[in-house]
Amino acid sequence: MRPAPWRSYLVGEIELRVQGPGASRFVRLCTDSRVPVARLRWDGDALRLKLPPGELRRARRLARLAGVRVRLEDRRGLPFFIQGLRARLGTVVGCLLAALALQGLTAVVWLVEVRGAVRLPQEAILSAARAAGLRPGRLRWGLDLNAVERRMLLALDELSWVGVELKGVVATVEVVEKDPPPPPPPPAYPLELVAACDGIVHTVLVFRGQALVHPGQVVSEGQVLIRPPPPLPGRPPHAAGLVRARVWYTGEAAVPLVGRQDRMTGRVHLRRSVRIAGRVIVLSGRRVPFELYESCRHVLRVGWRNVNLPVEFLTDAFFELERKHRHLSPDEAAHLAEGLAREQAVTLVPAQARILSSRVERTDLAGEVRVSVAVEVLEDIGLPRQAVESP
């Protein structure tokens, strides 16, 4: 009886070539000895047959009794396939490692592309995507695309729609920008230029209208700088010009001579937990061994695209802090206070202004040093405003 194909593959089978005048007697001996032979066929003057691998030794003994020659022609089945793999163990291990490496590489987002951006810079969109959690090197299976789309829409007011699609290791961000608002119509009343802040006029350049100030004059906030010209038929008159003035911005800071400072020691404690349906189960690291520390949390949500499971993996990192008291000399405190005050003053300076000079004033008090920094800049102080009086 011929065994089932799947059983022949699992057990294995060999093909023998029997040659000699006693081939028929050899088959009868195999049948009498219950050696399962199958698929007998003549190949010229030789007989070919198949039998299980474990019966090869008995078949050779019966061949000697029948006076025939037996030669092994072929071997098939799972046992011989495994035997071949053992002989090529290095190749098999290499293929498995390559498959694992390929699987690991394809589980990570390697490239983020932007489509549909016309006016908005692509770098702004990529920055918003990174802030929302979509960046090169991020695992695909832990990425919530719906959350990324919502966060990007909240971060960029210029977008009306955001769609994120993953194809292999490439994430494509498609955006639709809002239509730009129409430019505001020109005002129907005449405009004059007034001073936006106090200062000393440095340069006056009139394009349209009449200047009411001159270089070297001290002006105060709201003072008229350029009066609008007489009205022309069909359009209201507007004053236009450039008035640069020297303006001062001041910053103040105080630094105590004795203070405390916290710095990290380098020791970190990790607490891993899982949140299931709002309930948090701590897996490891329940007790924090530090008295003073800072902490941060990383949340890994389980889900894919529109399917979000109520399971989150939480990793809390606790960084140990070491508190020390510092003692500063008056000069060291003054140096730190000057840097803080200068930074405060510079943040008030407009981007188009040019810094001319700075003045530092230091005051030593009981237990602290106070420093004031005045920054002198040259900037355009002209501000359009509805003319109070007609020219």
DSSP-assigned beta bridge partners for residue 320 = 293
> Angle at CA 120, nearest 5°, toward 114 and 126?
40
Is 349 found in the same domain as 238? yes
Those residues with Cβ within 8 angstroms of residue 153's Cβ, 6 or more apart along the chain or in another chain? 159, 161, 162
Residue 192 counted as domain residue: yes
Residue 348 counted as domain residue: yes
Residue 88 counted as domain residue: no
> What pLDDT does 391 receive?
45
End-to-end CA distance of the chain: give it in Å, rounded: 119
Q: Tell me the angle at which helices 145-155 and 122-132 cross, rounded to the nearest 10 degrees.
A: 130
Residue 239 counted as domain residue: yes
Residue 105 counted as domain residue: no
Is 76 found in the same domain as 9? yes
| Integer Cα distance of 94 and 279 in angstroms | 44
Residue with tokens 């993953």: 166
Is 276 found in the same domain as 221? no
Is 50 found in the same domain as 159? no
Q: How far is CA 374 from CA 86, 215, 248, 348, in A?
A: 81, 22, 6, 11
Q: In which domain, by residue range, is 290 found?
A: 264-322
Q: Number of structural domains, the chain?
A: 4
DSSP-assigned beta bridge partners for residue 262 = 323
Q: Which of 137, 155, 177 is the last residue of a domain?
A: 177
Eight-state DSSP code of residue 145: H
Amino acid at residue number 216: G
Query: Would you write out the chain's pLDDT as a tens digit for each of its 391 residues?
Result: 455 566 666 777 888 888 888 888 888 888 888 888 888 888 777 888 888 887 888 888 888 888 888 888 888 777 777 776 666 767 767 777 777 776 666 778 888 899 988 888 889 999 999 888 888 888 877 788 888 899 999 988 888 899 998 887 888 999 998 887 777 776 667 889 999 999 999 999 998 889 999 999 999 999 999 998 887 776 668 888 999 999 999 999 999 988 777 888 889 999 999 988 778 889 998 899 998 999 999 888 766 555 566 788 899 999 999 888 888 888 999 999 999 999 999 999 998 899 999 999 999 988 899 999 999 999 999 999 888 754 4
Residue 169 counted as domain residue: yes
Q: Which of 177, 204, 232 is the last residue of a domain?
A: 177
Is 129 found in the same domain as 209? no
HEC readout, 183-238: CCCCCCCCEEEEECCCEEEEEEEEEECEECCCCCCEECCCCEEEECCCCECCECCE
Is 73 found in the same domain as 43? yes
Is 223 found in the same domain as 353? yes
Task: Identify the CA nearest to 196 among candidates 144, 145, 249.
Answer: 249
The phi-psi region of residue 101 (left if phi > 0; otherwise alpha if psi is between -120 and 50; otherwise beta) is alpha
- Residue 30 CB-density burial (10 A; 0-12 exposed, 13-18 middle, 19+ buried): buried
Residue 87 counted as domain residue: no
> What pLDDT does 3 receive?
53
Residue 106 counted as domain residue: no
Those residues with Cβ within 8 angstroms of residue 315's Cβ, 6 or more apart along the chain or in another chain? 270, 271, 272, 297, 298, 300
Is 359 found in the same domain as 237? yes
Is 203 found in the same domain as 168? no
> What pLDDT does 1 receive?
45
Is 365 found in the same domain as 242? yes
Is 271 found in the same domain as 379? no
Is residue 345 within 8 Å of residue 323, measured between CB atoms?
no
Is 347 found in the same domain as 234? yes
